[in-house]
Every structure is written in C-alpha cells, then in structure tokens.
C-alpha cells in the first residue's frame, strides 16, 4: 500500500507547487505593461525599459504630441504650445500643462512613459520618474517619425494606415491644385513675429512639409539656396521681395502681427501681394508638422489656393 500511495502523494505535491508557481507568476505580471522592443532608430535614445502599450503618456516636446494623439494614446501631460494648438484642443483638453523642469508636477501625473526632445538638460532626472523616449529634432522626417512611433509603441498597423491614407490624399490634392494653378508655381513659407521676419524651408513646420514635400510645389531658387540648408532664416524687411515666389504662406499668431510689413511699400510692390496670392494662416496650428496638424494644414491650404484660381 505504501508503494502505491507514495507516487500519488508525490504527484499531488508537484501539482500543488505548479499551481502555486502559476499563481505567483500571475500576481507579478498582473497590471504590468509589455516592454517595447525599443528598436534602434537614428536620433532616438531610450532611458529605462519603455512600455510598448503605455496607458499614461507625458509629452514634453510639442513637436511629437500630435503623433501620439493620432495614435490614440492617453495624454496626461502636454506643453503650453499644445494647449494653444486649435487642432489638438479636444485631444489635450484633459491633459495637464507641464514643463520639462517641473519634475514634481510630472511625477504627480504618474506617467508610464515620457516623450521628449534630446535637447532637454534633465533627461536623467526625468528617467527617474518614468522611462523616457528622447528624439533628436530633424534626425527623421515627419513620415519616418510616424512610422517610428508605431514601431516603438506596438502600433505599426495604425501608423502605416495613416501613412498610406496621407500619401493617397496628398497625391489627389496635388493633382487638383496643379490643374488649377499650374505645376510650376513657386511657394515661399514665412513666419511673422512682433519684430522679426523668418523664412522656412520644407521641414520646419508652417506648412512647408505640406507645400513642398507632400504637394510637390517648389520654392524660389534663393529660398532653396539660403533657407533650405538650415531650415529657417531671419531676414530684414528690405530684402523680403528677393525671396517671395508666386505664392507666400504667412504664419502669425494674430492679425496684428506683421502690420508694419503689410503697410510697407516693399511688401505692397511684390507681385504675389498685388495679385492676391498671400495665404495668411494661424501659426498656433501651422507651427507643427505632426499628422493631426498636417491634415488641418492641407485642408486650409487647399481651400486657400483654389480660391486664388477663381
């Protein structure tokens, strides 16, 4: 009898231990987030084990907020620029406005991950609060960045769908606009501030990505030579005319900004101005080149350009 009972007792003990082990494993993994593969990407640096499916995201660089919003992440902390962006208004309504230096406020938000630019000086301190994804501005173009976020955060299919839809839509709009105004029209991208005039290239927001990259309109040669290499250029009012193409997109935060330029003889002598081909846009939305902002910019620019052809 003892010989018969011994194996049975041993079997029961083994099953009990396995059950206990399974129970303990379930307890340690319950509620935990899957760790991202953290793919090696040019310009991206990781601090800590980044979750693939974060539930609470803090974004400390407004450049990237629209990407994460488009991918449907729960944004609990954003920048002051995001709060001013009319395109992101609904997406960031419940998020708290925070700065990268306000560590206490960020900690209180209990983020699963923090997304920030590599130029922040306190990356190590931020990494003590939560894993960090730091991106170098300009290392990747806006299409690549969307793909990168999809790879980092396990949303490749969603990111790819946006990329496919965007390329199809912009190709259609480009065909429509070029049929309306001609394929050889040149565009200048300008930003006005209280006392400064800036020109922008094809990768510095303000509509440049839409006009030059997505729609394929060229810039005047002087803009290509002087502005494109660095992405932006500060100029004086006296030389504005040298850089203006057939169309000019002017980004400013309000209607009063740029009054001195608009009233000047230099400005009013420019052919694009005299012929009504100045497109004034809200800089609060046009600063950015994320998917949500780009969709808005495309619609605004399409309508404005078609209006000049009537």
pLDDT digits (tens, 9 = 90+) for 153-179: 999 999 999 999 999 999 999 999 999
CB atoms within 10 A of CB 23: 9
Q: List the one residue out of 293, 104, 106, 117 whose CA is nearest residue 210.
A: 293
pTM of this structure = 0.86
Write down the pLDDT at residue 3.
40
Q: pLDDT tier at 33 (50, 70, 90 boundaries)?
A: confident
SS3 of residue 57 by DSSP: strand
Report whether pLDDT(11) > 60.
no
Task: Please name each of the domains of the chain with its CATH number.
Answer: 44-155 (3.40.50.1980), 173-308 (3.40.50.1980)
Report whether pLDDT(218) > 90.
yes
Average pLDDT score over residue span 234-258: 94
Tokens describing residue 256: 């009063």
Mean pLDDT of all residues belonging to the chain: 90
Angle at Cα 248 formed by Cα 242 and Cα 251, nearest 5°? 115
Task: For residue 213, give every residue at least 6 positions away whose Cβ sits within 8 Å of its Cβ, in sequence order, or none.
Answer: 141, 202, 203
In what helix (H) or strand (E) does residue 16 lie, and over which residues does it extend?
Answer: helix 2-29
Q: Strand locations in 48-196, DSSP E?
A: 57-59, 75-78, 96-97, 113-117, 132-135, 187-192
Residue with tokens 């030389």: 239
Label residue 207 left, alpha or beta by phi (over 0 means left) and psi (-120 to 50 means alpha).
left
**Given CA atoms 136, 88, 143, 205 in this order, what sign does their dihedral have?**
negative
The whole-angstrom separation of Cα 240 and Cα 174 is 27
Write down the pLDDT at residue 9.
39
């Amino acid at each position: 009898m003892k010989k018969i009972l011994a194996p049975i007792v041993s079997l029961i003990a083994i099953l009990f231990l396995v059950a206990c082990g399974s129970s303990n494993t379930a307890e340690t993994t319950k509620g935990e987030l899957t760790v991202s593969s953290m793919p090696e990407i040019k310009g991206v640096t990781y601090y800590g084990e980044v979750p693939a499916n974060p539930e609470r995201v803090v974004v400390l660089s407004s450049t990237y907020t629209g990407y994460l919003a488009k991918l449907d992440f729960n944004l609990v902390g954003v920048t002051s620029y995001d709060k001013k962006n009319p395109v992101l208004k609904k997406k960031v309504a419940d998020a708290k406005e925070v700065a990268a230096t306000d560590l206490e406020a960020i900690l209180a938000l209990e983020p699963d991950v923090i997304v920030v630019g590599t130029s922040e000086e306190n990356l190590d301190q931020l990494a003590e609060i939560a894993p960090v994804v730091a991106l170098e501005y300009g290392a990747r173009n806006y299409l690549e960045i969307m793909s990168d976020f999809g790879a980092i955060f396990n949303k490749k299919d969603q990111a790819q769908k946006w990329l496919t839809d965007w390329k199809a839509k912009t190709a259609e709009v480009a065909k429509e606009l070029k049929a309306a105004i001609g394929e050889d029209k040149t565009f200048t991208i300008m930003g006005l501030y209280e006392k400064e005039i800036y020109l922008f290239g094809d990768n510095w927001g303000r509509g440049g990505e839409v006009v030059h990259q997505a729609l394929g309109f060229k810039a005047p040669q002087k803009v290509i030579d002087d502005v494109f290499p660095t992405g932006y250029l500060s100029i004086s009012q006296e030389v504005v005319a040298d850089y203006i193409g057939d169309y000019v997109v002017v980004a400013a935060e309000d209607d009063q900004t740029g009054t001195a330029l608009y009233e000047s003889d230099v400005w009013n002598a420019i052919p694009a101005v005299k012929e009504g081909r100045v497109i004034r846009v809200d800089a609060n939305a046009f600063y950015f080149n994320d998917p949500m902002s780009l969709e808005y910019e495309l619609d605004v620019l399409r309508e404005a350009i078609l209006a000049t052809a009537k």
